[in-house]
Structures are given as C-alpha cells and as structure tokens.
Structure 1
Amino acid sequence: MALLAGVPALAQPPSPPPAAAAPAPLARPFQAATASGAQQFTLANGMQLIVQPDRRAPTAVHMVWLRVGAMDEVDGTSGVAHVLEHMMFKGSKSVPPGEFSRRVAALGGQENAFTSRDYTGYYQQIPAHRLADVMRLEADRFEHNQWPDEEFRREIEVVKEERRMRTEDQPRAALIEQLFAHTFIASPYRRPVVGWMSDLDAMTPDDVRAFHARWYAPSNAAVVVAGDVDPAEVLALAQQTYGRIPARALPARKPREEPEQKGLKRIHFKAPADQAYVALAFHVPRLARVDGLDASDRDALALLALSAVLSGYDGARLQRSLTQGADRVADNAGSDASVVGRGPGLFLLTGVPAAGKRAEDVERALRAEVERVAREGVSAAELARVTTQWAAATVYARDSLQAQAMDLGSNWVQELPLDADERLLRLLRGVTPAQVQSVAARYFGDDRLTVATLVPQPRAPGAESTPPPAAAEGADGRVH
C-alpha cells in the first residue's frame, strides 16, 4: 500500500575494513524494531537510517530517499528536481562523470533513481558484502555532486526528449498533465514532475546546483538498507560514510493549501489520437496519519476502499457495468484514490469510449456508478474481497527486497511509522459499508470536479499510434 548498465569497468581495489576508519559521532536510536525487524536510527547530522534484515539471499538493496520532489520547486524552474536526479550520475570531486554507474556494475550491482512530486530516490541492488562500497559512493555524490556545465547541456537534452516521448507524444499523458494544471491552483501539484518545456529550455546549471545545495541536506534524507545485513554493522558503516556529511539547516517550508473549489471546471484537449479519453478529478481528503485518525483520515480510508470496489480487481463494478455486455459504453474504465502524499488528495475516474459511444457517455456512466454506491451502498462481501487482496499484496511484497525498501522509504517520506503498511491494512479491514456509502455521497459533486476530455484529431500522414514507452534511457545508459 505504500504509496521505480553501463559497460562494466575494471573492479575497484578492495576497500579497507570498517575498523580502519576514524570513529564517527554516535547515532541515537530513533525507534524500536518493528515486528519485521526493521530498525531506525538518527545519525548525529540528522540523517535517518532504516535497516530491514532479510537473510533469505546474500544480497541487499541500498536506497537514499530525500523528502524533496517537484512540489518543492518554484515557478520558472519546474523539472529541476528531476534534472538533478539525472545530474547526480554525472560526477563528484573524486568520481568522474559516468564512473558511478560503471563502478556499481563492476561490483555486480544494478542501480537507478526516481523522482516524484513528493520525493527523490536513488538505489542499488548489490551482493551484500559490497554494501560498504556503494555506501561510500552514494555518500560521496550526496555531499560532493560536481560536474562541468557541458555535462548539464548534454543531459538537459535527454530530459527534454524524455518529456517528448512520455508526455508530449502520448495524448493521454498530456491530457493528465493538463488535468492537474487545471485542478490545482495553489498546490505545487499543478506542475508536472518532468517540468514544462519552456522551463527546461531556460534552465541553467546553477539552477540545478542551487537546488542541490538547498535540499540535499542530511536532515532531509533517509538511507534504507534491506537484505542480508546486520543492523549494527550497517549503522557503523553509515556513521563512517553518511555520518561525516556536515549538518546544515533546511529552508522553511511554507504551507501552500489548495483553496476550496467553487464550481465544475472542464477542459477539452485536442491531440492526434485514435480514441477519445475522459478523466474526472475530484478533490478529496488525504490520509495524513495511521494513528489517532481524524475525520478526514477516516474518509480517506473509505475512499481507498471505494476505489477498490470500483476497479480494484477483475470484474469490479466499473468493468462489469461499463465495459461488458452488448450495450457497453467503454473499452476500459478505472478509478484511483490518490490520498497518500505530501500534497492534497485527488480521486480519479477515467474511461475510453467504446465504438459508437462518446466521451460524454463514459463520463455519465462513471458518475452513475459512484451515485449508485451513494444511493445503494456496497456489500460487506465486496469489502471483504478487496481487503483480502490488500492483505495478499502486503504479504507478497515481502518477497521482494526492493518492495520492502520502497515501502520503508515511502513511509518515511510521508512521516508515517515504519510499519505503516501493516497498520493501514488493519485500518482498511475496519472500514464499513456505511463509511464507503457516506464518502460516495459527499465527495463527488460538481463543486469538487474537474473534467478533462481528449478530443481526437487526425494523425499526420504516415503517423502511427504507438503505446507509451516503458521508460526513457538517459545518456548515461540509465533507465528513467
């Protein structure tokens, strides 16, 4: 429920054992171990360390999470958080551009990074006995990220191409970008993570360096390690690497609350496409905590359950009602309750009209299904089915070190406890049919709604419809 290879170089010489390093300031325990054995510590400079032992295989996942993303940018530099993620692979005082990835590969590891509205993350999966090596590499670029302007000029073109491939050339992605830009007024969620093209055109190397200096502070970061490791040994390594980074203050974060919407908003987006597409966005509460819930938190939980009832499994309500039968109105339809994040919550309903149907038909059908829940409610059996699926997903996630580390890191970003997934599952099991019916009745009126409709335009001669690319490859060979 938590809310992503280059050519191998010659192997580096063995690193000195931890005992060879000078003693670092002691860390203090932050939180007792969870039932799964995860432990959290605070280093002397304010950086967090989260360790999840899992001895099933001699491997480990090492991640660095930063509580900074696109929502922390300012107008005129949209996309800078994502651009910095790219530039973090372009060198430090002691590691030349491109060498970071070559060294990780030489250690037998794989690595990548990701940026969202809420956070930025970097990770490596390596043999457990090479953990010290990647911690030294990552701590070095965290503190000493450094690259010539020419590297930026090359990489910004990679980011622009990523924007073209993943957004501008994909009508539905471009429509969702427009939907967010119109749905939010004050919230920074209105800006795309990849940035507006005009901002990328105007971005300078110093814009990126300034963002790094402002936000890449130890107190704004957490190191997450999951795998065949001992927490005490990982703590010692963290003290010797990350613990040496000087502490510094973070900028004040000012609230940017989204004002109440006062009426329905509607946009029509024209783009070359074979089919229309409609997306409905409703302002809803976010889930801010999993302990001591207030009314908004309880509503957010019920909205999660509502979304699962609508489209959380094969044969769920939207699929049965909109996409099946001789009189079906949609080729596909779905819902998403985006209620876990640092910014405001949003509930999405989306659909693609079937042959002979219009986007307006799908819009009416989507709203009718929510109105049906508001009028008739849902059954206890439906809720039991989706909570069983959530429980299974939570259990299956433990099979993956990557998933374990992702859950721990995302929980930290949201300022939730390490075991938030287990707590959330218990809370979801307690959601009642009456609560689901109540949120369906209260949060889906016109005053909370923005509708975006894709209006298909003729394609240029010779142009073909292509699915969105799974990823874009950067100049360094990484997949973004």
Structure 2
Amino acid sequence: MFLIGFLAMPVLATQGKVEEFMLDNGMKVIVQPDHRAPVVVSQLWYKVGSSYELPGTTGVSHVLEHMMFKGTKNVGPDEFSRIIAALGGSENAFTGGDYTAYFETLSKQHLERALELEADRMRNLQLDEKEFQREVAVVREERRLRTDDNPNGLLWEQFNAVAWRVSPYRNPIIGWMHDLETMTIADLQQWYEQWYSPDNAILVVVGDVQPLEVLALAKKYFEPLPALKRTGYRERPEPEQKGITRLTVNVPAEQPILFMGYKSPAMVEVRKPWEAYALVVLNSILGEGDSSRLSSRVVREQKLAVSAGSSYDAFSRLSGMLVLQAIPAAGVDLQTLETALREQIADLQNELISKEELQRVVNQTVAKKVFARDSMFHQAMLIGMREANGYDWKTLDQELQHIRKVTPRQVQEVARRYLVDARLTVAMLEPEKAAAEGEMKP
C-alpha cells in the first residue's frame, strides 16, 4: 500500500481541490486545478448518446457531433477548428453510448476563447444541407471501415444487437447503415433542439486555472443561454434472459474470435453497492493485464489462445455486461476455447481466491486508476464520464476505498450470482473463405 501512496504523490501534490458550481440555468461546472504546466483542458459533456436514440434514428448523435464543427450564426464552417489551431491548441469530439463530448487543449490564457466558441455552438448551430450530405457520407464510410469491413467490429455489433432484446445498448454508436442512408437534416435539428442546452450539459475544466475565474467565464458565456423544458427520457428495461443466447457470424476474416458476455449490473442496479466493486475486482482477476488468469493460464500455460481478456464497467448509465474476448491459437477451435474460459469462471465460483492474489489485483487496480490521473485530459475524462452517466464525480475517490475492502468471499459470491448461463450470450466469428479463393485467375 505504501507503493500506491508513493506513486500518487507527484500528481496529487500539484492538484488543488476540485470545485463544483451550478449556474442559474442548470448547467454544472466542475474545475480541477492542476498547476504542473500552463495548460488547460476544457471538456463540454452533453448527456445524450446512442443509448438515447429510438429505432430509425440510430447514429443521429454521432452525425450531429460532426455537424457541430460546420458553423453557427457567428462562426463559419470549420472555422472553430481553425481558430483553436491558430491559438496553438487542439480540439476534437467523441460520441458514446451515454454522452457526447467536445474538448479543447490549449494554453491557459486562451480558455476564454474556447468557452466563448462552445457557448456559441450550444444554441446557434446552423445546419446546412450541403454540409450535412457531405458529413453523413463521411460517417457512412466510417461505418464501412470500422464495422462492415472489420470482422471484429462486425462481431461486436452483432453481439450487442442479439444480447440485448430491449436495452438501448443494442444500438451501434455509429448507427445502422439504413438509418444513416435515410437520415435527414430535420432529424439532426430536432435532436439538437431537444438535447443541446445548458441544463443538459457539464463543463469540466482541468489545468492551470483558479476555479472562481473559470466560474466567472462560465457565467459570462453560458449563463445567458436558456434552459429547455424537455420531456422525460423513457427507460426501456431489459427483460430477464432465460438461457444461453448463441450467435455465429460467418464473414471473410484472418482469424476466429470469441465473445462471451454475462449481463451484470452496474452500480445503478446492484442489490448492494459492494457487488459492483467485487465485480470490478473479479474482472481484474479474470482478464485485465498480463498477470490475469486468462492471460497467464489460457494464453501462456495452456496455449489455447493468442490473446484473452475481459472488461466490465461498474459506472455505466445502464447495466451492461462483463465481457470475455479471446482469439484462439492456431489449431484450436472456438468450442475448445469457450470451455477453457468457462473453466476459469468455474474456478472463481468454486474456490476462494487467495488473499495474496486479491491484494496483488487490488494494488494493480488502484495503481492503474492513480496513474490515469497523471494526464490532465484523462482527469477531465474521468470526471465527465462519471457525471454524464448520472453519478457524482466524488465516487472516483470513494471507488478506491471500496475496492480495497473487497473480500475473497464477495468475489466468489458475485461470480456465482452473475456469471451464470441464464445471463450469458456467446458470439463466435468463424471465418469463411472467399468464394474465389484457390481458383485460377483468368
């Protein structure tokens, strides 16, 4: 434990207290001072993403993200990016399942200009038909490259679409191709007017700043913008699964792939809060890093896979899955690999992990989270994601305390409760040979 404290000191010693403010229009402002360099990271998070989209409109959050750079009443198309670049900064944006975020990294004296530009496009975006047609074509091509022509991306999309019957996590973030082909500029206008307002936004600023100075700038540029009265978001709860769901994807590919997803509650739905932290530790034991059981046993000892790992998010807006992913070694079929992964899960269910293994994993998990805070950008990301998903940013510090309290019995209990067949979806990508393979060319 001394090591963790030692590692954290260089970062934490330069950080001030996180300050949180609420503007009169409902916009939240969170500031993390970090005085290591005269740099500032500004991130504006909107609480809307692909999991908010209804059937027929998938991809609208992502396309709108592209169009946010295409001009307002005051700033011409692509001028936003040119202004930030001229100031020596960088900017970009990203869309997720539960949020859309826009960010700038630049010298601290230019923060005011960045906030002025963000406030302008929050309510003054002008959607041009020609720009829209150009950008939606870019997104369709992006989809072809990342999903349609990418076996791993295609399997992941099919896996989620089949695993979730109702949950909006079945929506691909980039959107289904048909929806992208039939999308109209009116769809984007409606989405923009519905979700892009200060009361649905979080401003996160990390860097060489004073919180009250950031608050003054936020009030100057964002507080004049009115809040919107929007209809409540209607949740679509996932029905209980009754048995294993299986799917097979056959496409031309270099190698087979295996996904195994167990529906697992996020913090928002766990019976008791410790369960989510126990699942975090379980995931680390099972499939995070070279010392995890999947890597050490299935990859290196048994030599059944060339890679194997797992993932789980305790703080997603809706409950998700603990997912295992593996690529078999040459000559190993997917069924054999699935059996090997199941054996590792059975071990966690049948035998208590040792205190030594638990301590090692807890130390690694805590160290990973501490190191993540070394980056100003990642500090802002951690705060923004937590807040956009409906949790308090203060849980970032509380999380480390709770992880340290997880016991071997708790890890076993969540393995028995949640890593069961009634919650499992198995997806296999079995490569098919190209139709013309082996044929003589004319």
TM category, shorter:
over 0.9
Residues in 2 aligned to 1:164 and 1:413: alpha-carbon distance in whole angstroms: 29
Residues in 2 aligned to 1:445 and 1:164: alpha-carbon distance in whole angstroms: 35
- Tell whether 2:287 aligns with 1:311: yes
Give the structure with the larger helix fraction: 2
Tell me which amino acid in the other structure corresponds to 1:433: P
The share of aligned pairs that are identical, in percent, is 43
Residues in 1 aligned to 2:89 and 2:407: alpha-carbon distance in whole angstroms: 46
Residues in 1 aligned to 2:372 and 2:325: alpha-carbon distance in whole angstroms: 27
Residues in 1 aligned to 2:404 and 2:74: alpha-carbon distance in whole angstroms: 52
Tell me which amino acid in the other structure corresponds to 1:412: E
Alignment check: 8 A CA contact 1:285 1:296 kept: no
Residues in 1 aligned to 2:371 and 2:424: alpha-carbon distance in whole angstroms: 36
Compute the displacement of 1:155 (Å): 0.4
Aligned to 2:360: 385
Given candidates 416, 421, 428, the residue that maps to 1:446 is 421
* Superposed CA offset, 1:356-415 (max 9, x none): 110001111111100011111211111211221222223222321101111111121123
Equivalent position SS for 1:338: coil
Tell me which amino acid in the other structure corresponds to 1:216: Y
Compute the displacement of 1:460 (Å): 6.6
Aligned to 2:194: 214
Compute the displacement of 1:238 (Å): 0.6
Aligned to 1:167: 147
- Tell whether 2:103 aligns with 1:123: yes
4+ long deviations beyond 3 Å: 459-462
* Superposed CA offset, 1:105-144 (max 9, x none): 0111100101000101000001000111111011001111
Matches within 5 A, 1:366-405: 366-405=341-380
Given candidates 49, 52, 61, the residue that maps to 2:29 is 49
Aligned to 1:84: 64
Residues in 2 aligned to 1:170 and 1:459: alpha-carbon distance in whole angstroms: 15
Aligned to 1:286: 266
Matches within 5 A, 1:32-431: 36-288=16-268, 295-325=271-301, 327-431=302-406
Residues in 2 aligned to 1:93 and 1:251: alpha-carbon distance in whole angstroms: 27
For structure 1, list consecutive stretches of 5 or more residues without a partner in the other structure.
1-34, 463-480
Compute the displacement of 1:461 (Å): 6.2
- Give RMSD over aligned pairs: 1.6
Tell me which amino acid in the other structure corresponds to 2:108: A
Equivalent position SS for 1:142: helix
Tell me which amino acid in the other structure corresponds to 1:82: H
Alignment check: 8 A CA contact 2:268 2:318 kept: no
Residues in 1 aligned to 2:155 and 2:111: alpha-carbon distance in whole angstroms: 42
Aligned to 1:28: none
Compute the displacement of 1:419 (Å): 2.5
Compute the displacement of 1:199 (Å): 0.3
Alignment check: 8 A CA contact 2:289 2:295 kept: no
Compute the displacement of 1:314 (Å): 1.4
Tell me which amino acid in the other structure corresponds to 1:306: L
Equivalent position SS for 1:323: helix
Alignment check: 8 A CA contact 1:258 1:344 kept: no
Could you state the TM-score of these two structures normalised by the residue count of structure 1? 0.86
Compute the displacement of 1:417 (Å): 2.3
Equivalent position SS for 1:111: strand
Aligned to 2:10: none
Residues in 1 aligned to 2:193 and 2:82: alpha-carbon distance in whole angstroms: 26
Residues in 1 aligned to 2:427 and 2:16: alpha-carbon distance in whole angstroms: 43
Aligned to 1:469: none
Compute the displacement of 1:416 (Å): 2.2
Could you state the TM-score of these two structures normalised by the residue count of structure 2? 0.93
Q: 1:358 to 1:114 in 2, by over 3 A?
A: same
Alignment check: 8 A CA contact 2:28 2:203 kept: yes
Alignment check: 8 A CA contact 1:309 1:386 kept: yes
Equivalent position SS for 2:425: strand
